[in-house]
Amino acid sequence: MPVHTRLRYTARRIFEVALKTIWKHKFLLADLLIIAGSVWLSFGLRLGGDPLFQQFILSIWTMSVLALILKPLTFHVFGIYRIYWKYTSSKEYMRLVFSSFLASAAIVLALFIANSFGLNSSIPRSVIMMDWIISTSMIIGFRRLAYKKCLL
């Protein structure tokens, strides 16, 4: 077998394995994008175009990092990534809503602990609620869209 054929086969095989790995974790990747976007969107909706937005930039990054760690971890603990979304009922959606609520509560607790250690990351309470509503509805919407459009 010529060298260029072997290289082409190897490159194609690496691409196929990478694509399967990404496809296997598509919900996790989508959740990470949705979670990061919902934090920024909730701050944007709360603060608008005010000059206060610049004052809250440390809080935005702090909450983004905490949300990107705690929400997928909570979803994993509650088995959200093991659900076969083609055959879901309201029970699975309620589990997703509850796990998202607990993740938001864990973020509030982590922010409280961070403030007690001197990290000044004051976050408006409405941002936490808006983040929970936006991220939960977008995650559920993505799963329904993925099923309806045969992305599964």
Model pLDDT for residues 114-138, shown as the tens digit of each residue: 888 877 667 888 999 999 999 999 9
> pLDDT value at position 25?
74
- Full DSSP string of 26-77: HHHHHHHHHHHHHHHHHHHHHHTT-THHHHTHHHHHHHHHHHHHHHHHHHHH
CA distance 146 to 152: 6
pTM exceeds 0.75 for this model? yes
> pLDDT value at position 56?
82
Residue among 130, 133, 151, 131 nearest 142 (CA) = 151
- Residues 17-48 have pLDDT tens digits of 666 666 567 788 889 999 999 999 999 898 88
- For the four alpha carbons of 15, 18, 21 and 23, in that order, the dihedral sign comes to negative
45: tokens are 């909706």
> pLDDT value at position 89?
80
> pLDDT value at position 103?
95
> pLDDT value at position 70?
94
117 φ, ψ (degrees, to nearest 5): -90, 5
23: tokens are 């496809």
- Residues 49-90 have pLDDT tens digits of 777 777 888 888 889 999 999 999 999 899 888 777 667 788
Query: What value does the mean pLDDT of the chain take?
Result: 82
